[in-house]
Structure 1
Amino acid sequence: MPCIFPSAGMGNRMICVTSLGAKKGFSVLISKALIDLNMLEAGAQCFPLKLYEKNSLADASIKTNDMQDELVANPQSSSSTKSNTQYTAKDGITDAGLVHFQIAYSTEILTKEDVFYYIYGLLHSEDYKKRYADNLSKELPRIPCVKKASDFWIFSKAGRDLAELHLNYETVNCYPVKLDTGNKKLNELGDKDYYVEKMRFANKEDKSVVVYNNHITIKEIPLEAYEYVVNGKPALEWVMERQAVTTHKESGIVNDANLWAIETMNDAAYPLKLFQRVITVSLETMKIINALPRLDIATNLITNPIKDSTLV
């Protein structure tokens, strides 16, 4: 990770996919910070937008005419794009990778960022995941070119839009669910009224209602929000599981989401608002995914020097 996030303030983005042997199906996420590599089943494989090298090493290793056989660069190669006093930032997408797509869409002006977000959009395609389900369980994703340039741009824009949603999930608008607060009005609730131990469904057969705690029940949750699945589970159910109070059996260590809400986020209602925001993210994500075009792959393109466009 030092070549991806070398120090605080060095911004980057990376596409994270499930590793080999995952049994819950293929998943993809994007991150702008260091992650727990075990956040995805079988471990996460990460592919960055940028790679950083210390300048003392970068000067000796940069090759201006680098034409690797990979789509995404390794830390020791790829052309330089930007530097500061300590680090040189290089593109994660190789020169060869960009050329591959430029050949496919010769009338278009493409950048490496366009390709990066095309990959993120493509990996969300239900058609792609269904068609290559067997391969995705055994090897890293292969990134084909779609036939039409117009489809390339749809996938690339979708990837950008999905990235903004997924990276900024904490700042999107809260979905306007109905909050049943009993005898109190919402503006009368104090910090202690937002304390959550474990969210649960009021009825296992009806996921439109979630009991947040003894004071708050969340109603009118759109069922479509549960269609956005990450790592084998709806994103909303991950929020329900993680925004809770749990005790590690062996160590006795207590993990209390309420402490994070108050001490870090300065908002006792953070778990509730996060749930509402993830509803928004889930609905918008599925809207983008469902609007993606059918996967129509170009089969007559020269794949060298990309080695069949493998994402490594």
Structure 2
Amino acid sequence: MLINSVCLQHYFFPTPESEQENRVICVSDIAYRAPQFSALMTNCIADLHLCASIDAHQCFPFYTYEADGTGRRENITDWALAQFRAHYQDERISKWDIFYYIYAVLHHPSYRARFAEALKRSLPRVPFAKDFWAYARAGRQLGDLHVNYESAPEYKLREAWQRGQPEDYRVHDAMKLESSADGYALRINASLRLEGIPKEALAYKLGNRSALEWLIDQYQVKGELDEARDPNQRENPRYIVSLVKRVVYLSLETQQIIASLQPLFAVEGSAVAHS
């Protein structure tokens, strides 16, 4: 992979080993223009325009390092940890718990609605929810789901084959999303159509597109095909079809986790640390 400018990313992921232990919360930058604020967790170098081609994003890692991979430091301060423990009167709270708590808060619809204008002027500020552990658990679920999206369960979609066409799972140009009686269908190629995509799958948005629409845009064949530009995997022809099913599952599961969260503003007060 060629990267024009790594910015500070080499302090987040300086070595392959750091990708195994570190995670980063990427959020919409100040003055974002997408329809809504976005947050996405990753364990590798993130694109500047991760969730919207018209906006930049800022990354907040759990760990930072020296450029050679030494000197690992936790990016949540001891002061912030003390604030959370004091507020909730719970010494069990760890910095990782706070990290995942923040991730859940950033996904809560009422947080995004209440601070929609503020998020365009400044970095996110994190309120104290009534139930810390409910948010910490939900944030960990969301983080694990989003970081490990390529190994998520596959949602059961119907594989409809065009009569007279050879069996073919590979993408040859651009996939096409089509309306259907039970939601949506996705045309993979001239041979294969995936049916039974629930309408709710497109409700999980990352910036100006749903996660599924991002996949459709990024996993297409453009121009003359060569190995470097082929989104298909030679050793696994079903790779993109499987990924579509995983992203549908991820989209539905993400919304279910978010819907399970308790009201965010049940009590007054807010933490003063930036996420």
TM over 0.5: yes
Deviation for aligned residue 1:201: 2.7
* 1:142 matched residue in structure 2: 125
1:170–1:274 CA contact under 8 A, matched in 2: yes
* 1:293 matched residue in structure 2: 262
1:21 and 2:31 are equivalent in the alignment:
yes
**What does the per-residue CA deviation read over 1:106-136, in whole Å, with 9 as the maximum and x for residues that have no partner?**
1452100000000001101011101111111
1:13–1:31 CA contact under 8 A, matched in 2: yes
Deviation for aligned residue 1:173: 1.6
Q: Unaligned stretches of 5+ in structure 2?
A: 1-8
Does the residue aligned with 1:245 lie in a helix, a strand or coil? coil
Picking from 48, 54, 57, the partner of 1:44 is 57
How many residues are matched?
262
Deviation for aligned residue 1:300: 5.0
Deviation for aligned residue 1:299: 3.1
Does the residue aligned with 2:31 lie in a helix, a strand or coil? coil
What is the CA–CA distance in structure 2 between the aligned matches of 1:214 and 1:208, rounded to whole Å? 17
What is the CA–CA distance in structure 2 between the aligned matches of 1:257 and 1:195, rounded to whole Å? 15
Q: Using the aligned pairs only, state the percent identity.
A: 31
Change (3 A) 1:206 1:196: farther
1:164 and 2:144 are equivalent in the alignment:
yes
Change (3 A) 1:199 1:300: closer
**What does the per-residue CA deviation read over 1:27-66, in whole Å, with 9 as the maximum and x for residues that have no partner?**
00001001112223421111111111379xxxxxxxxxxx
1:32 and 2:43 are equivalent in the alignment:
yes
Larger C-alpha radius of gyration, 1 or 2?
A: 1
What is the CA–CA distance in structure 1 between the aligned matches of 2:169 and 2:265, rounded to whole Å? 52
* 2:233 matched residue in structure 1: 262
What is the CA–CA distance in structure 2 between the aligned matches of 1:257 and 1:172, rounded to whole Å? 26
* 2:10 matched residue in structure 1: 2
Change (3 A) 1:145 1:276: same
**What does the per-residue CA deviation read over 1:193-215, in whole Å, with 9 as the maximum and x for residues that have no partner?**
52331111334998512222110
1:10 is aligned with what amino acid?
A: S
1:177–1:276 CA contact under 8 A, matched in 2: yes
**Normalization by structure 1: what TM-score?**
0.77
What is the CA–CA distance in structure 2 between the aligned matches of 1:230 and 1:255, rounded to whole Å? 29
1:54–1:88 CA contact under 8 A, matched in 2: no
Q: Unaligned stretches of 5+ in structure 1?
A: 56-85, 248-252
* 2:78 matched residue in structure 1: 95
2:169–2:241 CA contact under 8 A, matched in 1: no
**Normalization by structure 2: what TM-score?**
0.87
1:35 is aligned with what amino acid?
A: A
Picking from 266, 272, 294, the partner of 2:241 is 272
1:225–1:283 CA contact under 8 A, matched in 2: yes
Does the residue aligned with 1:208 lie in a helix, a strand or coil? strand
